[in-house]
Structures are given as C-alpha cells and as structure tokens.
Amino acid sequence: MSIEEAKDTLDARGLNCPEPVMLLHKAMAGLSPGERLLVLATDPTTQRDIPQFCRFLGHVLEQSEETDDEFHYVLIKGT
C-alpha cells in the first residue's frame, strides 16, 4: 500500500490528545467501507490511541510508521 492510495488525509500535526482521535472519528464517518485514510500526527499518544480506535470500531490499521517527529498511519474503514 502506498500513501498515494489514500482517499483523504487527516492532518492532525500539532494537535494533542484527544483532538487527533476526535477528528479521526469524524473523518472516518465521511468514508465508505474499504476506503483508506492517511493520518499525519505529531502526538506520541496516537501510537496507542489509533490502534485502539481501529480495534474498537472495526477499522484496519494497514500501515503505521514513525519519521523523525511525525507519525503516519493508513487506516481502512471497516464495514
């Protein structure tokens, strides 16, 4: 999966918990099942919160990577 395949991007850089997950919930609501969302974040708590968000709501965390001071996630909306 390449990042370019994501339908939308959620730029949560500079935001702290709980804002990234609140915005993520809204962004996922706008997608159809199977569509991908790229999330950009700087808050380290997203490393815990985003996987839990996916498990709890039935989405797939397809990709997770850390670069310098940023975290990139690709999520697939569940059914």
For the chain, the domain total comes to 1
Among 17, 23, 31, 60, which one carries the catalytic annotation? Answer: 17
Contacts for 64 with CB less than 8 Å, ≥ 6 apart? 47, 50, 51, 71, 72, 73, 74
* pLDDT tens digits along 54-65: 999 999 999 999
List the domain range (segments joined by +) for residue 14. 3-76
pLDDT at 45: 97
* pLDDT tens digits along 24-34: 999 999 999 99
CATH of the domain at 52: 3.30.110.40
Q: Is 17 marked active-site? A: yes
pLDDT at 4: 64
